[in-house]
Chain A
Amino acid sequence: MTTTKREKSLIVIQLTGGNDYLNTVVPYEEGKYYDSRPAINIPQDKVIPVDGRYGFNPSMGPIKALWDEGKVAVINGIGYENPNRSHFRSMDIWHTAEPDAIGKEGWLGRAIRDLDPQSENVLTGINFGRGLPRALACPGVSVASVGDLDTYGLFPDVQDEELRRFTLEAFSRMYGGAAGRDPVMEFLGQTGQDALQGADILRTAPAMYSSTVEYAPDALSQNIKSISQVFHAGLGARVLYTQHGPQFDTHSGQLATHAKLWGELSGAVSCLMDDLKEHGTEDDASILVFSEFGRRIQDNGSGSDHGSAGVAFMIGGAVNGGMYGEYPSLAEAEQVEGDLRSNNDFRSVYTGILEDWLELDAVPIVNGQFEKFDIFTS
């Protein structure tokens, strides 16, 4: 066991499409739930009871097991004022921590910048999946987007090992060459070298990894496995991000689709927690699971449409398990245009993560002061 204090890392799983809160944490004691959802309710005898009033979706068995170990924090009724029910816009709001204006910098992009102000480690933040989510974007902050860890880097299409090596060497020499007084060429040169270096380092991660945990073949599980490989390779990755979905947008055929997605998600998270435990790193990583909004109370005959207040999860060895926030009331008087009313701002959770977990100043990152929950131990 190493004696160096490992820095804490944040793993983020974005549920894309608008995860249905009411069928994730089910208010199975409420008549109104069943009255409003004749087509898509979870029957009382199928729900996994959690605390006498609420229960998990039947596909969340592994999450329940983690809950029993005290490692799952459920943040109920999370959202923001003036809910926006458009996928892109609402996700942008979560990504930039800016509900009222159009933000341009991601909250995690800023966090990565503050974690590595001198840009010494191009692998401080990594996205697993193609295309950089706005959450991680911030000018001047290098974030790798890894579609496939095994082939990540430059010229992945070159099959011939030797040829690839020669090509990379040539690339390195061209980008390392003097740029004269041309600032753009200089900048390109530096960026190219950073990219090469980052890719070289990242590619060593799978080889350094060993584990008895077997991850399922679905895309999310494989991305989570890559996260584990990179995390355990000790490359200084502090923010690791991936997505599940976009099928969470269950306007029709909800029951089957939602069950499948949560089955995959629960399996992936459970494998990751086992992996962390096996490596003795359970207290060094925390997992945030969120979605851009919850869904409507009333079903539409086959599924549910975009709503507002939702649920987020914080999972990890260093997490104070339990229910946070309040479960929104389904009563008509409490609804917001037919949707659940949120009772805590998502930036409170961000603040807790930034301050208590990553030890950063949260206010400039989330553009304000928000009261946080006591989610992390010690």
Chain B
Amino acid sequence: MSTQTKSPEIVLDYVKTVGIVNNGYNGRGFANPYDIVVGGDGRIFVLNRCDPLRAAAIRIGICNLDEEYLGEFGRGSGTGDEQFVWPVAMALGSQNRLYITDEHSHRVTLYDIPSNAPVKYLTHWGKHGAGDGELNGPAGIAIDSSDNVFVVDQHNSRVQKFTSEGEFIANWGSSGSGEGQFNLPWGAAVDDDDNIYVADWRNDRIQKFTNDGEFLAAFGSPGDGEGQFHRPTSVAVDAEGFIYVADWGNERVQVLGADGSFQLLLKGEATVSKWGEEYLASNPEEKAQRDVSNLIPELPAHLNTPYHISSQTEPYFWGPVSVSLDHDGRLYVTETNRHRFQVYQKR
């Protein structure tokens, strides 16, 4: 770990916040979003995990950066086609394919999401178990340039590689804290060299592998300092090799260089979204009080942990469970406890 303080090689500017809480199936807004993927055409797909009381509202919502809400799909909670119980993550394959994992149903669901036609359900694959190709709590998912599908098989402590049709190719990993070992891993990412990154959640680190599962490097250690993580849930890598990490337990996002060097961290600085403005406009008494409130208050000692601070400080990340990138240098941070995502632009 370098002791010099180098100025970061990357700068991220805050752009905007999109979202508002919506516990119903229809209409603009999100409910406990768990992941986002951004399509090449600018459509943003948001996976809504929802709370049990309103599990019928589990859905994938579609919007764009202009904060237009374009609709939703999915058939709520259950184990039938197009239904989800505990959906975790999504990934975009070529040919407009959207993959969604469900860690309770132990499967991957596929949709066809063409730009100019309705979303179409394709199929789901996955069987509960510990054998090759079987899944136990599939969490993160990532697609490489050959459309191979990498699924983080959480309770089997491994990563599994499939064809896009779900045929088993290979797997690697075992339970533990050594190289190539995992402890309840969560998110996954692929870089431009088709290397695989895994957010090794309870080992408080990111691991990097070749496309065949050979260990390359591990980044991070437990803690709340720079370059340290507390339960990282998601990872993304851009074309220059910068590594973005959703440092969930520390309620922040960190960016590392390709060599793992700490670059910067983000705490979140959300502003009122367009949908939020609409709500406040039709609730003027509430808006009036909000306008004279201090949304970044000082807190007493016993509430001085990242989680509690974020629970009281609305602009900060709260439950930043996923980091996603588009092809225009933008970072999207999905916040499950705030029902929104914050957008940053790489300069």
Contacts and interface: CB of A to CB of B under 8 A. Distances in A.
A218 to B, nearest CB: 12
Interface in B251-305: 275, 278-279, 282-285
Contact of A303 (B27, B283, B284, B285): B27
Contacts of B282: 296, 298-301, 305
A302 B283 contact: no
Interface string A66-95: 000000000000000000000000000000
Interface of A: 247, 249-257, 296, 298-303, 305, 337-338
A255 B26 CA distance: 9
25 contacts: A249-B23, A250-B24, A251-B22, A252-B20, A252-B24, A252-B27, A252-B28, A252-B29, A253-B24, A253-B26, A253-B27, A255-B26, A257-B25, A257-B26, A296-B282, A300-B279, A300-B282, A300-B283, A301-B28, A301-B278, A302-B29, A305-B282, A305-B283, A337-B285, A338-B285
Interface of B: 20, 22-29, 275, 278-279, 282-285
The secondary structure that dominates the A interface is loop
A247 B24 contact: yes
Most chain A C-beta atoms within 10 Å of own C-beta, residue among B22, B24, B279? B24
B22 A253 contact: yes
A247 B28 CA distance: 16
Contact of A252 (B26, B283, B285): B26
A270 B299 CA distance: 56
Contacts of A298: 282
A9 to B, nearest CB: 31
A300 B26 contact: no
Contact of B24 (A257, A300, A305): A257
Contacts of B283: 300, 305
B275 A251 contact: no
Contacts of A305: 282-283
Nearest to A40: B27
Nearest to B286: A305
A298 B281 CA distance: 10
Given A253-B24, A302-B278, 10 more contacts: A249-B23, A251-B24, A253-B25, A254-B27, A255-B26, A256-B25, A257-B25, A300-B278, A300-B282, A301-B275
B27 A302 contact: yes
B109 to A, nearest CB: 23
A101 B285 CA distance: 25
A245 to B, nearest CB: 12
A257 B25 CA distance: 8
B328 to A, nearest CB: 28
Nearest to A301: B278
Nearest to A298: B282
B28 A256 contact: no
**Nearest 8 interchain pairs by C-beta:** A253-B26, A253-B27, A301-B278, A252-B27, A252-B22, A302-B27, A300-B282, A253-B24
A257 B72 CA distance: 14
B24 A301 contact: no
Contacts of B285: 337-338
